[in-house]
Structure 1
Amino acid sequence: MKRVINSCIAVLLGVAVMSAVIVLCSENPSVSLAAFFLKPFSTRGYIRALFHKAGLFVCMALGASCALKTGMINLGGDGQIYAAGFVTALLLREYWGVGFLLQWSVALLCALSVSGILACVSGILKAWLATSEMITSFLLSTACVPLIDALIITVTRDPAGNLLATAPVHSHFILQQQTSLFGVPAVLTYASLVALAVGCFFSYTRVGYQFRICGKAPEFGRFVGFPVWATYVWGMVLSGALFGLTGFFSVVGLFGTCYVGFSVGMGYAALAHALIAHARITVLVPLAFFFAWMETASEAAVLGAHLTVNVVLFLQAAIFLLISAQWSAPWNAVRRGARRVYRFLVTVFCFRGEKHRTRRRHALSVHDTHHRRSRWE
């Protein structure tokens, strides 16, 4: 409950800071505020784009959360998403004539495999050589991005004339126009089902329990006989596969092609999303709508209210900083200080004679008992 309250306070403060920055940096504050808060819900196209982005945010946050639950931090989300999207665009730009479901499944499996292998390298280096997974995943991602950029611009460029994108995905495989129950876009529906499956895996399976134990206390996991090295490897593989799912849904759902640099910033946003939700699967889905609204509102403000891109980036950085702050730390410090003052006053005024010493010990024991009960409650 305390974490939920802290997150809500941070969200409200972040929205207030964003509003203040918009007012200060815009020539017409009222128009800018209206574009930022209302335009994402003004038309059906904006709402559909918001739902699609929410589905992508769910998949991204799942990838970062799986790594956090296993005691790892995957900083290679940008490259893994980019590689999966590139493979998806290559495999789905033409129809093979073998059936929609078969070709779609092959492309999905290849996308998950490519991103999972990229993340698996970091897990293996962590397990065998004790190399930091943050450094290796970031370096691999940084190396993959310019390589894929070069392939898009030279070898796999769209023959129709687009210099910065591959050939578009065949119309049979586009999910942007497909809807599911109650008109919800298919991307968001599939992402929610994946989130449900991942939550059940970590909460109700033996392997998921081993992952959580080894992530929180690896020494205890070694003591009870859990394969901690396997947790590192498979945790990163699962994280990379979910990032690959994000790249797959980005190409077949929102963009329809793989253009240069489409995944820039996605890994950072996924990690921020997971940290804000404290890697809890049940919080990721509703929080994804807030992130999707923030991105859609930023784009609407840039296009309709004449805001600069730098201001939008500043707004996003401000909201991430405020949401990630631990608001319970000052309150805990105040409680500790008040408890020390109370013990000092009891020591000063009750330390006189045997009767007063007994009264002092009783008062301190009652206070400590009440404090322990309040902590557990």
Structure 2
Amino acid sequence: MESLHKNKTWDLVKLPKGKKIVRCKWVFKKKEGTLGVEEPRYKTRFVAKGCSQIPRVDFTDVFSQVVKHSSIRALLGIVAMHDLELEQLDVKTVFLHRELEEDIYMQQPKGFTVSEKEDYVCLLKKSLYSLKQSARQWYKRFDSFMTSHDFKRSSFDSCVYFKKNSDGSFVYLLLYVDDMLIATKDKREIKKVKAQLSEEFEMKDLGPAKKILGMEILRDRKASKLYLSQKGKGYIEKVICRFNMQSAKPVSTPLAAHFRLSSALSPQSDDEIECMSHVPYSSAVGSLMYAMVCSRPDLSYAVSAVSRYMANPGKEHWKVVQWILRYLRGTTDVCLQFGRTEDEVIRYVDADFAEDLDRRRSLTGYIFTIRGCVISWKATLQTTVALSTTEAEYMAITKACKEAI
């Protein structure tokens, strides 16, 4: 509440005729700290119920940029190669830093109703958590601030900012909503950027980067190595425990050759559909997908295969998901390694002709490394049916060339 009042988030007014109010609520959360470094924190957040907002009345554009995972990995590769300083920042009450462009009326917070003004409502002046336009409003504010301080925005990723110094070195800044990574050769440059940001926003200095988006950043500067992982008591272990696979027997491959998935294995009778409705298939596939996107390229093909049957999964499909979880249990310590090698960008691409048994579409798979560091990967069905193996290969190469650019 101190933050809300300090940022002058709303004014108390009478509700105008014909206007509707947006509901609100308190959200309480225990945020786990980094293992052995930080204690758990208890956080309270006041949010608006944006689901009650009316399109083109309460909001227009809602899209907001976040940095790509491949950009994070590219920066970590650069940090390891050139032994750069890497630090992290967090913006406090991030969505309270931008004025709203629309008139939005909200009920008063529960437990903090102003006496003798119980029938008044809050006219929001600043964007609030869970409003449809909040993330976009924050990004617009941050972008204008960075460009006014001589930072350039990447034309390939709108949340990557960089500035070239007089000595030829660069300062890199990556933004994911309220999390920032800053990298540069000289620590004084990081202090300078932090001071500029602190003048404009209320910041929390997290020091050397240790964790980002549920991924741990481990660094051995003597050996010029940097590791990105979701192991230990992190995300992967939570996923295994969530789906009760902590005592399952590990397997050595992400997807065994004897699995031949198709829609013919989906439930046909009402009893089968009812039985599968109690299986957390979508939740499990989504959890595996996030692990794959962050730090596990070895899961790409397997996750691509099981994600095709999210609408109507069968028992055989669920067996495959459990197999992947068993593989994950046996490989929790697998992580991405970044270091110094001589090679530049190397890309591998291949196609599997007519791999999909249902629509006979081919599979595109590629992986990119920069000086030995894995940066980008994908395994996905092609959008159209290839009429030959050659055509499938060309389609795969085209996809990889787009990623290379």
Range of TM-score over shorter length: under 0.3
Q: Quick check: which one's helix share is greater?
A: 1
Q: RCO higher in 1 or 2 (8 Å CA, sep ≥ 6)? A: 1
